[in-house]
Structure 1
Amino acid sequence: MSSFGRRVLIQWVFVGVLLSLAENGICDEVYLHVEVTNALTGDVDLTVYCKNIDPTQRVLRYGESYEWDFSGNFSTTDPPFLCYFKWSDLPRTYNLVVPIWDFECKEHCQWFIREGGPCKYYATNLICFPWN
């Protein structure tokens, strides 16, 4: 088996173990720091609402950011960073943090919200994801 194949296999085994540990819907206590930046084109305001962590709707102008900190038990069935985004009457949702994937969010997880979906850097590469 190639070196790449072994790494992929090990990662999938690790993910399987983590998933089985989180099977009851509760992960261990975590600390997360998440930042969202409005990167929509055309000077459009972005409304952000993450009901499980903050009951306040935030309106961000282009280039503005808002940050949340979370510490405690993380429920996989009711995740704190399942957030709602709205601009120009277009509502969208996205789960900004999945603890078994987003290890870097413990330090600082920064998202850039674009029309096509939320984006974040992995090393030096900006990767964008489709909306839910």
Structure 2
Amino acid sequence: MTMFTQKILMLCVLSLLSLQNVLGVHVTIGNNLAKNLDLTVHCKSADDDIGIHLLHHRDIFGWHFGSSWIGQTRFYCSFKWNNELKWFDIYVQSRDLHVCDSHCNWYIIQSGPCRMVDAIEKNAQCFPWNSWNK
């Protein structure tokens, strides 16, 4: 490969990486808890605190962020309803980037968070809650 071809290839790779960072990722979280329960959500990353949000049954909220070039973007959230307090890594770049691309849509049920694979809820991929012992 010639030096010119290498430089063009490197320019293309850097352009794609910067485009991903500019376009970024949009995460949405919906409250699908049974019995019309309210859900309090608090999401953070190492750099950002998204704040505390109260979601009534079937409410959603979301936020937008640029992902890291080195693949280390991570957002974790606490979820509280009634006397339950759970947490989950709602966005892990290495896990989610190629699954949800630029839109990661989640809904929360008592047994854990579910990531929408498409527009049909029954096709969601559900995860267990994170352990407090980590």
- Please, what TM-score do these two structures have when normalized by structure 2? 0.67
1:33 is the counterpart of 2:34: no
Partner of 2:80: 86
Distance across 1 between alignment mates of 2:125 and 2:105: 12
Are the counterparts in 1 of residues 71 and 94 from structure 2 also a CA contact under 8 Å? no
Question: Alpha carbon RMSD of aligned pairs, Å?
Answer: 2.2
1:60 is the counterpart of 2:55: yes
Are the counterparts in 2 of residues 111 and 118 from structure 1 also a CA contact under 8 Å? yes
Q: CA deviation at 1:71?
A: 1.1
Are the counterparts in 1 of residues 116 and 124 from structure 2 also a CA contact under 8 Å? yes
- Please, what TM-score do these two structures have when normalized by structure 1? 0.68
Q: CA deviation at 1:107?
A: 2.1
1:47 to 37, 40, 54: 40
Q: Indicate the SS of the match to 1:56.
A: strand
- Residue range with higher mean Cα deviation, 93-102 or 46-55: 46-55
Stretches of structure 2 that go unaligned for 5 or more consecutive residues are 1-17
Structure showing greater radius of gyration is 2
Paired residues, number: 103
The runs of at least 4 aligned residues of structure 1 exceeding 4 Å deviation read: none
Partner of 2:113: 118
Q: Indicate the SS of the match to 1:50.
A: strand
Q: Indicate the SS of the match to 2:87.
A: strand
- Residue range with higher mean Cα deviation, 103-112 or 61-70: 103-112
Distance across 2 between alignment mates of 1:75 and 1:107: 14
Q: CA deviation at 1:58?
A: 0.1
Q: Could you give the per-residue CA deviations for residues 78-118 of structure 1, whole angstroms, max 9, x where no partner exists?
A: 82x11111101211110111212212433211101000000
Q: Indicate the SS of the match to 2:91.
A: coil
Amino acid at match of 2:30: T
**Percent of aligned positions with the same letter in both sequences?**
34
Q: CA deviation at 1:126?
A: 1.6
